[in-house]
Amino acid sequence: MSLTSDPPIGPPAGPAPGPPDASKGGAPGTGHGELTVVPLRHPWRWAAVAATAVLLAQFVNGLITNPGWEWDVFARFFTAPTILEAVWITLQLTFYGTAIGFALGIVLAFMRLSASVFLRSVAHGYIWAFRSIPLIVQLLFWFNLAYLYEELTFGIPFGPGFLAFGTMNLVGAMSAAVLGLALHQAAYAAEIVRGGVLAVGSGQSEAAAALGIPRLRQLRRIVLPQAMRSILPNAANEIISLFKGTSIVSVMAIGELFYQVQVVYGRNGRVVPLLMVATVWYILLTTVLSVLQHYVERHYAKGAVR
């Protein structure tokens, strides 16, 4: 006997309603099987692709057919001994400038992160000064060090000196170039390293300190490996910029790649093919640096979620 006045709930008396049938007067094309999928069209995208392809084909055709490029002259000088020697000097400037610059930049970065107001101020002042002064001015200052200081003296600060020597032959053109490039690079490297360290959560260091891990080991084993993922892309850009920026030392008559190319086309008047020699060498070496960057980044990205 039912305790309520509501009617019992049961299955519907008739069959379940289905999709309307067009043959029986229903709306045509309303069933899922009858829907037509129309792909989205991008006419302007295809127009842009076609225009870009035409321009690229014209550029390549001009490189091949235009006699002004003088590819025979390019091939003759591309592996000439003077050019290869200039490439080696360019690589040396890049290596020493990068190594010394980033070594000093790491020190400056941690000085800026120091709790000491004095160390932070000194590092900030260095970065401010060397980022403000043009590189060519810095190079010329170091090249003319003997004009500013005729001799250097070692001894008690503000007191008597024990050892003095002249500066006329102390800093040559190559040394001045390396010194100028490295000190200039250090200012930018410091900010890159500082940004990478700040990108690591402070909880990492706090957890390591709670476990009793020494401060130096925290930095070497925990902070820097994680910071490298943020440091590497910007650092690689700076190294590539330094590699191409070595051409500025041509003002000091150093036989790097661009200076040597200028000397050669100054003698034979073949400006365009000699400039292409320098261009292709810069492209090849920059490509090698980019490939190395890829593998180093992949090494430090182990375990990271991408």
The answer, yes or no, to whether residue 43 has pLDDT greater than 50, is yes
First to last CA, the chain: 66
Can you tell me the distance from the alpha carbon of 286 to that of 291, in angstroms, rounded to the nearest whole number? 9
Distances (CA, A) of 178 to 32, 76, 100, 141: 73, 31, 9, 13
Least confident of 54-58, 92-96, 185-189, 229-233: 229-233
Residue 59 has pLDDT above 60, yes or no: yes
81 closest CA partner among 274, 260, 262, 305: 260
What is the band of 1 on the pLDDT scale with cuts at 50, 70, 90?
Answer: very low
* Strand pairing category for 161-166 and 151-155: antiparallel
- Does the pTM of the predicted model rise above 0.95? no
What proportion of the chain, given as a percentage, has pLDDT over 70?
85
User: What is the reported pLDDT for 20?
Assistant: 52
